[in-house]
Amino acid sequence: MKKINYGILSTASIVPRFIQGMRLTNNGAIKAIASRDMTKAKAFAQNYNIEKAYGSYEDLLSDPDIDTVYIPLINSLHYEYAKKSLVNNKHIILEKPFVLHPEDAVELAEIAKERHLFLSEAVKTPYLPIYQKIKEIIEQKIYGNIRYMDFRQSYTSGPYITGWNTMKEYGGGVFIANEAYYFTMAEFLGGKVLSCNGSATFGKNGTEDQCCVTSLLENDILAQMNVSTRILFNNGLTIYFDHARIEIPDFWKATVAYIYLNNQLIDTLSFPCKYEFQYELQYYNECIQNGILSSPVTPVENTIRYIQFCNEIYTSWDRNNI
């Protein structure tokens, strides 16, 4: 089948990893990059051997040779440029968080369906090889049933604690930055989320700088997400079963996992990869090639529910902080 030709809106820091991941697939190619600064776009294109550079996002969206658009813009611009991309008949991979409001997510899903376009949030984690093995362990009930999942992310330096990431008007905050991994993986591994609630502390600009969110899943499973920019802790995911636990360092880009029985390490799972985007992108490209409009692994319907959960939690935080 014909390779899927991509255009990228932005030269954000995540983009080089996306490009390298795409180049490890056999069904997609990066054809264009856009920035609001043409000099920056040209320099980026030359550095990463990209055929076309555009000095505006709209110019890229009007390019008839581009099939699909990857959008890693600041959070508050996701809805605007996703809608513009769909109106220009482009398939979309939209970086996390998908959008900031449930009604915007519903509208994008409806437009994509009407125009027969693929639409997905860029959630790479369930496509990683290590989780295929862990999913197999879960389904075979080798260590009994899942009872509890503990998701942990923390960082005290880097882009998440500076600039627009700390500003509410731009969609900043640690909860919205990390919720997609949490809800997606909780459901991928454990089952449907039935309810959730949470607490947070807030920084000087009014965005949450720490949060703790707990969810009840079907089959009496609990899942908890802890995120902080104030302190560092042991980042990762721990899955607790009836008779064992699995420790997964840096769960959002995992290549290794450790299985413990009675607090003794009994097995190590190892699935090294250089650019973790490759598995997600290989799959999305296959969906587009085959006319599938929403990934069965990370469907848009799930994304909409997750944003609704976020909205409910943010509403409770706003009410409590009046």
Tens of pLDDT, residues 152-199: 999 998 877 888 888 889 999 999 999 999 999 999 999 999 999 999
| Superfamily the domain 4-124+277-293 falls into | NAD(P)-binding Rossmann-like Domain (3.40.50.720)
| pLDDT score of 204 | 81
Domain ranges of the chain: 4-124+277-293, 129-272
| CA 9 from centroid of its chain's CA atoms | 17
| pLDDT score of 216 | 98
Structure tokens given for 129: 């090889």
Dist CA 103 CA 99 (whole Å): 9
Is residue 321's pLDDT more than 80? no
pLDDT class of 322 with cuts at 50, 70, 90: very low
- Nearest Cα neighbor of 74 from 96, 46, 104, 91 is 96
Q: Which residue bears the tokens 């560092």?
A: 232
pLDDT digits (tens, 9 = 90+) for 99-155: 999 999 999 999 999 999 999 999 999 999 999 999 999 999 999 999 999 999 999
Structure tokens given for 130: 């290590």
CA angle 40, 69, 192 (to 5 degrees): 125
| pLDDT score of 16 | 96
Dist CA 212 CA 227 (whole Å): 7
Mean pLDDT along residues 287-307:
96
pLDDT class of 1 with cuts at 50, 70, 90: confident
SS3 sequence of the chain: CCCEEEEEECCCCCHHHHHHHHCCCCCEEEEEEECCCHHHHHHHHHHCCCCEEECCHHHHHCCCCCCEEEECCCHHHHHHHHHHHHHCCCEEEECCCCCCCHHHHHHHHHHHHHCCCCEEECCCHHHCHHHHHHHHHHHHCECECEEEEEEEEECCCCHHHCHHHHCHHHCCCHHHHHHHHHHHHHHHHHCCEEEEEEEEEECCCCCEEEEEEEEEEHHHEEEEEEEECCCCCCCEEEEEECCCEEEEECHHHCCEEEEEECCEEEEEEECCCCCCHHHHHHHHHHHHHCCCCCCCCCCHHHHHHHHHHHHHHHHHHHHHCC
Mean pLDDT along residues 287-292:
97
Domain at 129-272, CATH class: alpha beta
Mean pLDDT along residues 280-298:
97
Dist CA 57 CA 59 (whole Å): 5
Dist CA 64 CA 28 (whole Å): 16
Q: For the beta carbon of residue 63, count every other beta carbon within 10 angstroms.
A: 17
| pLDDT score of 320 | 67
Is residue 98's pLDDT more than 70? yes
Contact 29, 3 (CB under 8 A): yes
| pLDDT score of 68 | 98
- Please report, for residues 27, 91, 130, 151, 203, the alpha-carbon distance to residue 6 in angstroms, rounded to integers and kept in the order given: 11, 9, 27, 32, 37
User: Residue 69: phi, psi to the nearest 5?
Assistant: -120, 135
Mean pLDDT along residues 83-96:
98
Q: Which residue bears the tokens 């990857």?
A: 70
Dist CA 184 CA 258 (whole Å): 21
Task: Please state whether beta strands 221-228 and 236-241 pair in parallel, antiparallel, or not at all (unpaired).
Answer: unpaired
pLDDT digits (tens, 9 = 90+) for 197-255: 999 999 888 899 999 999 999 999 999 999 999 999 999 999 999 999 999 999 999 99
